[in-house]
Structure 1
Amino acid sequence: MSGGRSLPPRRRRGWSTDDLRHGNLLRILRHLRDHGPSSRNDIAAGCGLAMSTMTDLVGELRSRRLVHELRGVRRSGAGRPARPVAIDGEPWCALGIEVDLLGIEFLGTTVGGRELWSASVPAPLLHSSPEAGWALLRDALAEQLRRVPAGSRLVAVQVALPGYVATEPGTVGWSAGLGWDRLELADRLTAELAAEGVSPVAVAVAHHCHLAGLHAVRVELELPLPHVAVYLGGLREVGGAVVVDGSVFGGAQGGAGDIGHTNVDPHGPGCPCGRHGCLESLVGLTTLLARSGVVPAEDAEALVTADPKAALGALLAAADAADPQVRAVLAEAGDFLGAALDDLVGTVNPNVVLLGGYLGVLQRYLLEPVQARLAQRTSVSSFAGTQLVALGDLTPRVVAGAALAARDACLADPLTLTSVLSDEAG
């Protein structure tokens, strides 16, 4: 249920009644996650379960404080009021971590989603060397563990960072900004948590835009949960995510959604990835600043690295002031973006495409050329239903998405990560 490196499935020998029970518990929790408080009849119908089975399973989840029953809702006709079942999760803590180039963000919540604490830890030397960066993260995490409330237990940790992450075993394959290469981050974190007495715990690592996309689709999109959604965003560069039925689709090895390195123009400018004409090289924030003349080309990359919000603010202010060069550069960027999305819509056929990060903030200068490029594609009935949605603010999606994915990890394996706390039955 989480993005990037998700909690691995439990390894079992053959099929057993435990598999069936675990699968049914997972269905109930996912139904409540996606549909909110529901009656037992609605859950049974949505999950394909008999009511007799529901009674036992809901009792199991109640005994672990993963669900609770709300006040009864009076139905038409005779009979007792229906008592909707909702996700509880108060005793269980999930922790989202965003590792940025200049610092680390933490967000602790209950598995039910109630915020417990948040913290920002400046760490400008994260990128100085892999081992120095790892030491900074390790020490910052140890400090945050002291903030887990008494009576609560940490059961899941999700890390987001700017880099490629192999799905198994949570290895950072390459993060140019951090300088991390083949860093077995999930294993290191698991060992550190065990040394602190935190076990069992699900530890996962994912590309930061995967988790930003997860939050955008599940929390911010004012539409019913789409079957397939594509997200493009980022503060410094173009990142992406494909979200299927509310979960990030990582592909075979966790690299799906690498939309920023879609090849738009093979004869285009060089990209930091080593290719030419990637979407990033054509519409990246550094490129837009340099080509528009808002910031001298030799200073653009440094400004975007050190303060992407200030860089974006300068570009937006110049566009709002009707600077003709800035407007022309943004119109061309919208055309390049539309070309990439045209291919993406044809390949993935999503219900919705979301633009976030700096692309969402620049929406009024990008959407018209994007829509013009997509017009031919969406004139075909198979693609006509694709919606284009722009998110116009810089909501902290990454750390919020990381916390959301950590909560999902607990819901995906309740029998391993939680324990019975009461004798309550359904």
Structure 2
Amino acid sequence: MAEATGFKDGLSRGGGSGELRQSNLTAILRFLRDHGASSRHDTARGCGLGVSTMTDLVGDLRARRLVAELDPIRRPGAGRPTRPIALDGEPWCVMGVHVEVERVHVRGATVGGTDLWQETAEAVFAEHHDGAAVLADVIVAQLPNVPEGQQLVAVEIAVPGYVATDGQSVSSRALGWDGVGVGKAVRSALADAGLPDVSVGLSSDFHLAGLFAARSLLSDASSTVAAYFGGVSEVGSALVVNGEIFRGAGGGAGDLAHLHVQLDGTRCWCGRHGCLNSVIRVQELLVQAGLHDEEAAAELVVTDPDAALSLLVDAANAGDTRVVEALEKAGSALGRAVDDVVGSVNPHAVVLGGYLGRLAPFLLPALDRQLRARVHEGPYADTRILVTDEAEPPVAAGAVLAARDACLYDPLGLTTPLR
């Protein structure tokens, strides 16, 4: 509740009545997003709004089909029935886009959260000199999937790399991009297709995976802090604070995969020795477990990452001593990183997803031993370690959440009254 009020106050200090109205509308939408259908009284109290102001704002949101009134509910005791309000958003469409080296995953949904379509398009960026243009073409090709009578208002693009402080250009080792102007290219392509006002956002892929994990696993995500560790074959990570991605000063916050956990560890692609990713990535685990030499492990992880992970899981389940020992050491390394995060960030929860989630039964005993001293201290005693059973990090789903948020945070700019 306090977060919604703080958001309103933070915007209203610097602008006039237009900004104040926008921030109040957003406060209502965020409250309903985080708490579900609520009475006007509870919503007004949670957002720090007066009853008369609330009535006017809800009228505007209903006209834009962003909220809807539900059937009356009679509470115990005397008094008139209450009509709860809830998010609507069905006329407005968003797109979540997950960029990989040779594929682009796209999911469409309404601002209200109804799934509309899901597709995967082939796009080998290494074969083209202008990767931003290739991606823009893929996104425009998805426009016929927008149902008749609905309007696309926001696109969120998840990239395997870092987004610059301008929020629109990308540097990605995996894609070979260095400051590529993805946002400008996509906006231009959408404008050429007759959609000049669509919001285009970019985020790191694991930021969005963490966002989805936090909001789906934590019942009170709007007032909690979560750290996320996941990945397909290497570690990706994020920090989610009060249900929002914590990006830091330059957009790189939450890069927990490169915490130093081993003095003389293997060299990582980042240039460091002994960072978490270099020690517990699947390729290194295959080598340490004696299942493959370095060259064969690297090839298998690239060509069939699921088979590489299954090889570890099956051998561990069979009781292969060397594999179990390798995973125990990996659990200790992960525990050292989690211990540092718990001590420095003091999150309510640490989430293990992706391949770490599948390996969790073999990692958690050693991880728990590393945390034993920490969690005996009062401030850290309630930190939870949560495990997801996702087949892959839910990046596209997180991108849909961020795209929906774009509309909730700018209702006056991205929607119009429909009645």
TM-score, normalised via structure 2 length? 0.94
Which amino acid in 1 is paired with 2:181?
Answer: E
Change (3 A) 1:75 1:151: same
Whether contact under 8 Å (2:34, 2:221) holds in the other structure is no
What do residues 257-293 of structure 1 show as CA deviations (whole Å, max 9, x unaligned)?
1111112224322111111111111001111122212
Taking the aligned partners of 2:102 and 2:299, their CA distance within structure 1 comes to: 13
Taking the aligned partners of 2:133 and 2:303, their CA distance within structure 1 comes to: 22
What are the within-5 Å matches in structure 2 for residues 191-340 of structure 1? 191-221=188-218, 225-340=222-337
Taking the aligned partners of 1:222 and 1:302, their CA distance within structure 2 comes to: 40
1:76 Cα offset (Å): 2.1
Asked if 1:58 corresponds to 2:58, the answer is yes
Which residue of structure 2 lines up, in the alignment, with residue 155 of structure 1? Answer: 153
Q: Which has the higher helix share?
A: 2
Asked if 1:99 corresponds to 2:99, the answer is yes
Taking the aligned partners of 2:49 and 2:244, their CA distance within structure 1 comes to: 23
Taking the aligned partners of 1:403 and 1:332, their CA distance within structure 2 comes to: 36
Aligned pair partner of 2:395 in 395, 398, 415: 398
What do residues 7-65 of structure 1 show as CA deviations (whole Å, max 9, x unaligned)?
xxxx9995201111111111100100100000001001111111111100000100111
Taking the aligned partners of 1:93 and 1:167, their CA distance within structure 2 comes to: 27
1:138 Cα offset (Å): 2.2
Which residue of structure 1 lines up, in the alignment, with residue 42 of structure 2? Answer: 42
Taking the aligned partners of 1:413 and 1:179, their CA distance within structure 2 comes to: 33
Whether contact under 8 Å (2:207, 2:239) holds in the other structure is yes
What are the within-5 Å matches in structure 2 for residues 336-355 of structure 1? 336-355=333-352
- Larger RCO (alpha carbons 8 Å, 6+ apart): 1
Which residue of structure 2 lines up, in the alignment, with residue 7 of structure 1? Answer: none
- Percent identity between the aligned chains? 49
Which amino acid in 2 is paired with 1:215?
Answer: F
Change (3 A) 1:396 1:229: closer
1:78 Cα offset (Å): 3.4
Whether contact under 8 Å (2:65, 2:88) holds in the other structure is yes
Taking the aligned partners of 2:43 and 2:145, their CA distance within structure 1 comes to: 35
Taking the aligned partners of 2:132 and 2:302, their CA distance within structure 1 comes to: 20
Asked if 1:127 corresponds to 2:151, the answer is no
Whether contact under 8 Å (2:230, 2:393) holds in the other structure is no
What do residues 191-245 of structure 1 show as CA deviations (whole Å, max 9, x unaligned)?
1111111131111111111111111111134666552111000112101110011
Taking the aligned partners of 2:160 and 2:334, their CA distance within structure 1 comes to: 21
Whether contact under 8 Å (2:162, 2:252) holds in the other structure is yes
1:294 Cα offset (Å): 2.2
Corresponding pairs, count:
409
Taking the aligned partners of 1:309 and 1:368, their CA distance within structure 2 comes to: 24
Asked if 1:110 corresponds to 2:107, the answer is no
Taking the aligned partners of 1:412 and 1:255, their CA distance within structure 2 comes to: 22
Which amino acid in 2 is paired with 1:148?
Answer: V
CA RMSD of aligned residues (A): 1.8
Whether contact under 8 Å (1:155, 1:199) holds in the other structure is no
Whether contact under 8 Å (1:127, 1:177) holds in the other structure is no
Whether contact under 8 Å (2:267, 2:274) holds in the other structure is yes
Q: Which runs of 5+ in 1 are unaligned?
A: 1-10
Which amino acid in 2 is paired with 1:81?
Answer: P
Taking the aligned partners of 1:307 and 1:82, their CA distance within structure 2 comes to: 55
Which residue of structure 2 lines up, in the alignment, with residue 382 of structure 1? Answer: 379
Q: Which runs of 5+ in 2 are unaligned?
A: 1-10
Taking the aligned partners of 1:22 and 1:89, their CA distance within structure 2 comes to: 17
Taking the aligned partners of 1:351 and 1:14, their CA distance within structure 2 comes to: 32
What do residues 106-134 of structure 1 show as CA deviations (whole Å, max 9, x unaligned)?
000000000011101123x2234552x33
Change (3 A) 1:319 1:115: same
Whether contact under 8 Å (2:259, 2:275) holds in the other structure is yes
Equivalent position SS for 1:376: helix
Whether contact under 8 Å (1:363, 1:392) holds in the other structure is no
